[in-house]
Amino acid sequence: MNDLTYQPSSTPAQLSGTGEVVPYSDDSLTTRTSGLARALGWFSVGLGMTQLLAPRALGRAIGIGERPVLLPLLGLRELGSGLAILQGSQPKLAIQARVLGDVMDLALLGSALASPRADATRVAAAAGAVLGVTALDVLCVIQLARRNGSAAQQPEAGPARVRVTKSIEVGRSARELYSILRTLENLPRLLSHVESVRETGPTRSQWIARGASGERFEWTAEISTEVEGELLAWQSLPGGDLISQGFVDIKPLANECSMVVIHLEYAPARESDTRSAAMLFDPTPEHALEADLRSWKRQIEAS
């Protein structure tokens, strides 16, 4: 089974600076998730090596005193988690192991506060840092779970499946563009094949799309990832006419301009459905999305 996660092409995007629509191949939603996992893996390796090689200095630095036996043991755990993440065969399980390790570290820091030898200020600062890393670990587990869960419902790749990514420079700030697109009812202004988007909750929406020959597709989507002012990603829920996911990534440029990247993926939800997702586009997904982006750019810059 092949999931609907965008895989970058081998040809990087060339940004023309003139508003030309170009292929986009960098920093996809998959890249963000795997990049976070790799960063956490290298963090584990670095921390583990520090705990192994300099346990006394580290113990003094975080205010718990010298722990020449305990900290090297924790270092072995960190090093093992980091190498497992970087190996990449089971990143979700390795990140989950990191979460458990974070809980152990917080318990250690909590018990250290009861010691009269502990430096309360340094221990509190260390606990805050661990809580921050724990939040990243949990976020990574959630993203990996969503990606794997999405893959479970995807059909085999074939002619009925569509995957397209384009980008364009727009003469408006990233903050303004994100505000426009975060109101999902505005998406039909950007995507001509989308007839309507109706928000039914904080993260859910009902989509209706029509093909060039009148084919009608309906599905419910849920926001899967949101980074305020920068990234909005969505994916369909089971039960619709299409399996769909996409994202809009907005990158600030100089002079209050922004690079807007949009990625779309569609596939039939049922093997028995003879309708192709390509029916949504005329003449082709690439040309249709290029035309949509150019038209939207003119509308936004003129308003």
Can you give the pLDDT at residue 294? 95
Same domain, 65 and 186: no
Last residue of a domain, one of 119, 151, 183: 151
- Whether 141 and 163 share a structural domain: no
Q: Are residues 76 and 147 in the same domain?
A: yes
- DSSP assigned state of 157: P
Domains held by the chain: number: 2
Q: Is residue 13 part of a domain?
A: no
Q: Are 230 and 250 in contact (CB under 8 A)?
A: yes
Beta strands at 204-210 and 194-199: parallel, antiparallel or unpaired: antiparallel
Q: Same domain for 130 and 202?
A: no
Q: Where are the beta strands (DSSP E) in the chain?
A: 22-23, 162-170, 194-199, 204-210, 216-227, 231-236, 242-252, 258-268
184 in the same domain as 49: no
Closest CA to 245 of 92, 29, 37, 33: 29
In the chain, what is the greatest distance between 2 CA atoms, to the nearest angstrom?
77
Is pTM beyond 0.95 here? Answer: no
State the pLDDT at residue 152.
43
181 & 246 share domain: yes
Task: Say if 37 falls within a structural domain.
Answer: yes
Q: Which residues of the chain are modeled with pLDDT < 50?
A: 1-31, 149-159
Please check whether residue 1 lies inside any domain of the structure. Answer: no
- 208 and 136 share one domain: no
What pLDDT was estimated at residue 140? Answer: 77
Note the pLDDT of residue 221: 95
CATH code of the domain containing 238: 3.30.530.20
* Domain limit, last residue, from 151, 168, 188: 151
- ∠267-92-155 over CA atoms, to 5°? 15
- What pLDDT does 191 receive? 96
Query: How many Cα atoms within 13 Å fall on the side-chain side of residue 153?
Result: 20
Contact partners, residue 136, CB within 8 Å, separation at least 6: 36, 40
What is the domain range of residue 41? 31-151
- The last residue of one of the domains, among 117, 151, 185, is 151
